[in-house]
Amino acid sequence: MDAKKKIAIKNICPDFLWKSTRKVYRRMVFLRCRADMALSGKKMEFFCPCCGTKARRFVEGDYRECPEVYDVTLYERSRQDLQCPACGSLPRHRILAMWIERNPDLLSGKDVLYFAAERSMTRYMKKHGIRYTTADLYDEEADLQIDITDTGLPGGSYDAVICNHVLEHVNDYKTALAEIRRILRPGGVLITSFPISQDVDLVEEDPEVTTEEERIRRYGQSDHVRLFGRNSQTLLAKEGYEVSVIDGAEYPANILPVTGPSIYDANRLFLCRKKDLSLENSVDLSIIIPIYNVEKYLQKCIGSILSADECKLTERREDATGSIEILLIDDGSTDGSSDVAKTFASEYPFIHYFRKENGGLSDARNYGLKQAKGKYVFFIDADDMVNADGLSKVIRAASESDADVLLWDGVAIGEDDAVMNSSYDLILTHDGLPKEGSSGNHRETSGTDAMVMQIKDHGKAGMTVWLRACRRDFLLSNVPEFKRGILHEDEIWTPQVMTAAGSVRYIPEQVYCYRVRENSIMHSPDENEKHVWSILLVMKMLHTLYDAGIRNKKNRKVLLSSWADTYLYMIGKYDFGNCSSGKDIPSGKIVSAAKHGKPKIKALVLRLFGVKTYRKLFR
């Protein structure tokens, strides 16, 4: 049955009838093929390792009958006998099944996550006792309905991930590969495949190609957003994997198609083992500075870093390696920022300049993290500064420590660089954390305990990115990338870091100088709608992180009460009442999480009388 008929039947059938029809149809095809084989007297030379069926031939796909989905010119001169008549398996499934038989220890007894799971393979894996969980963004029958680029799963959750013919569909395949790497355990493997064109070297993609007709012409299928090339394993290696090829040519010919699909595909899968990136550290600390139209402040920012003694030592090294590297990530600046950054990069061998298309702060930070080579990474905003002596202590700590996260304090400064008293003082301190002992010993705690200690001490846990340095291999293995396209990204990224951190070390120094700018985006009234939308998204993610991810009941209660306090503060600060998305405030959860006393009263007012009344009383 071709795709047109399938779509037509599905549109007129109720779900239960459609599923029943599919089962009956598959059974009829199987019986017809078996009868055809028996009556023909021809040798059954083909074999499907997924279901064990022997066949006279495989069934031709429906590519030629669906010009609205496929580029039929790719299949005009070749037969497409691809599918097993019994289970519907394709060459990639049969190769994978036979590869599993040859390497039984790799998946046996392991936790496997299977994206866009195919029926022929899940039946095979179930039959062979392989423990798997299915995942899909749209399929409601999947065990997990999640986005491959942002799963929300804890780091190190699975031993293996399988995703066949998925990466050509997602908007950002690099983010997907990074997320898969994060949820894999040390030494875990990704098994993947995708259509490959021998006419392309690495990958062909263009974000301007959005219509189905153009995608068919460029990539061969209406829902593909790129076309991978003959050397695409190089792309996988760049994302932190050791890659080997599972080549169909090394497997028996009787499991493969009659002629194969022309130039468009290849009977090839990739086995990608998660690399230990800690072995690639070349410096102690990578300082990442996203840049966008900050010409006025950039020279002061970089200059404050270069004042640290360790930077001066690095500068004198002839091999350009030492304590630190500074990565200047130009996010498409249109002022003189680029010239300032290039000048510094030309004068100092440990300063590196990168320019990319404008994608926002989160995108620039993610880009910088991929370029970093340091043991630890430290994100600095380009309009801020650092204290040179404090930075020297951070660099020394990065050299000697193996803690997942290093923490320190900060101060607020004005446009004249002078320290000022401000309402930000509470978020610029980590008071309540254990400090160095009298003997110089460094006391460490878990990230979750560190947040709870701060909340109990002064009511807040520091959420800003720039009051911490994180071990790079820890980040890449346990923490999702910064969420693109939103404000308040620190409010979710930092808790994700801290709840994943097993060891945190506190350096009681005022290292960071946060510049208070009234014209920054965080203070712009024109961005109110985006603030509200971002807060709703971030706070939803944060509640899930605390409620589902924190096992200790007392810690969970403290963190959720802090979540409620933050939500109530945000509702008072930003105009939720005049935004359509403001109706989505989870007032019931806020009431449940709020502490007794004033927070509980404020939450009840919000719940009973709505946002506008709440803002009149507590703004």
Judged against a pLDDT cut of 80, whether residue 498 lies above it is answered with yes
Give the pLDDT confidence score for residue 316 in this predicted structure: 47
Rounded to a whole number, what is the largest CA-CA distance in the chain? 92
Q: Which of 233, 239, 211, 234 is nearest to 224 (CA)?
A: 211
The Cα 463–Cα 452 span in angstroms is 13
10 and 70 in one domain?
no
324 and 302 in one domain?
yes
324 and 459 in one domain?
yes
pLDDT band at 548 (very low <50, low <70, confident <90, very high): confident
Judged against a pLDDT cut of 60, whether residue 442 lies above it is answered with yes
Mean pLDDT confidence for 291-313 = 90
Mean pLDDT confidence for 239-259 = 82
155 and 90 in one domain?
yes
Q: Which of 398, 344, 391, 352 is nearest to 372 (CA)?
A: 352
548 and 493 in one domain?
no
CA 553 to chain CA centroid, Å, is 28
- Tens digits of residue pLDDT in 423-440: 777 789 898 888 765 445
CATH code of the domain containing 403? 3.90.550.10
CB-side exposure of 130: number of CA atoms within 13 Å? Answer: 26
540 and 501 in one domain?
no
Q: Specify the range with the lowest mean pLDDT, choosing from 254-268, 286-300, 365-379, 445-459.
A: 254-268
**Which amino acid would we find at residue 165?**
H
Please answer whether residues 157 and 132 qualify as being in contact, where contact means their C-beta atoms are separated by less than 8 angstroms: no
Judged against a pLDDT cut of 90, whether residue 291 lies above it is answered with yes
Count of the separate structural domains present in the chain: 4
Question: Nearest 5°: CA angle at 565, between 561 and 567?
Answer: 115
- Tens digits of residue pLDDT in 312-349: 665 544 444 468 999 999 999 999 999 999 999 999 99
Question: Does any domain span residue 48?
Answer: no
Give the domain-ending residue among 209, 241, 275. Answer: 275
Question: Does any domain span residue 192?
Answer: yes
Reduced DSSP (H G I as helix, E B as strand, rest coil) percent helix, strand, coil of the chain, to 5: 45, 20, 35
305 and 442 in one domain?
yes
Give 326-381 as a DSSP string: EEEEE-S--STHHHHHHHHHHH-TTEEEEE-----HHHHHHHHHHH--EEEEEE--
CA separation, residue 499 to residues 321, 432, 593 (Å): 33, 17, 19
Give the domain-ending residue among 493, 519, 545. Answer: 519
201 and 298 in one domain?
no
Nearest-10 Cα torsion for 347, 350, 351, 357:
130
CATH code of the domain containing 105? 3.40.50.150
424 and 296 in one domain?
yes
Judged against a pLDDT cut of 50, whether residue 262 lies above it is answered with no
CA separation, residue 376 to residues 286, 302, 324, 486 (Å): 6, 18, 9, 25
Give the pLDDT confidence score for residue 391 in this predicted structure: 95
Beta-sheet strands, E only, within 358-460? 374-379, 385-386, 405-413, 419-420, 444-445
Task: Tell whether pTM > 0.75.
Answer: no
Give the pLDDT confidence score for residue 319 in this predicted structure: 45
Question: Does any domain span residue 195?
Answer: yes
The Cα 230–Cα 200 span in angstroms is 6
- The residue range of the domain holding 266 is 59-275
CA separation, residue 470 to residues 107, 184, 206, 502 (Å): 32, 19, 34, 12
Q: Which helix (H) or strand (E) holds 104?
A: none
Question: Does any domain span residue 83?
Answer: yes
379 and 428 in one domain?
yes
Question: Does any domain span residue 54?
Answer: no
CA 281 to chain CA centroid, Å, is 22
Give the pLDDT confidence score for residue 512 in this predicted structure: 97
Question: Does any domain span residue 341?
Answer: yes
Question: Does any domain span residue 502?
Answer: yes
Question: Does any domain span residue 584?
Answer: yes
Share of the chain above pLDDT 90, in %: 51
343 and 288 in one domain?
yes
* Burial class of residue 27 (count of CB atoms within 10 Å of its CB; 0-12, 13-18, 19+): exposed
pLDDT band at 289 (very low <50, low <70, confident <90, very high): very high
Give the pLDDT confidence score for residue 54 in this predicted structure: 83
Nearest-10 Cα torsion for 171, 174, 179, 185:
150
* Burial class of residue 472 (count of CB atoms within 10 Å of its CB; 0-12, 13-18, 19+): buried
560 and 601 in one domain?
yes
Q: Which helix (H) or strand (E) holds 327?
A: strand 324-330
Judged against a pLDDT cut of 90, whether residue 30 lies above it is answered with no
Residues 6+ apart with CB under 8 A from 570: 535, 539
Q: Write the DSSP symbol of residue 134.
A: E
CB-side exposure of 346: number of CA atoms within 13 Å? Answer: 6
Q: Which two tokens mark 543?
A: 């509640």
The Cα 47–Cα 94 span in angstroms is 9
pLDDT band at 7 (very low <50, low <70, confident <90, very high): low
Give the pLDDT confidence score for residue 2 in this predicted structure: 42
Q: Which two tokens mark 341?
A: 């950054």
Mean pLDDT confidence for 363-384 = 94
Give the domain-ending residue among 519, 546, 564. Answer: 519
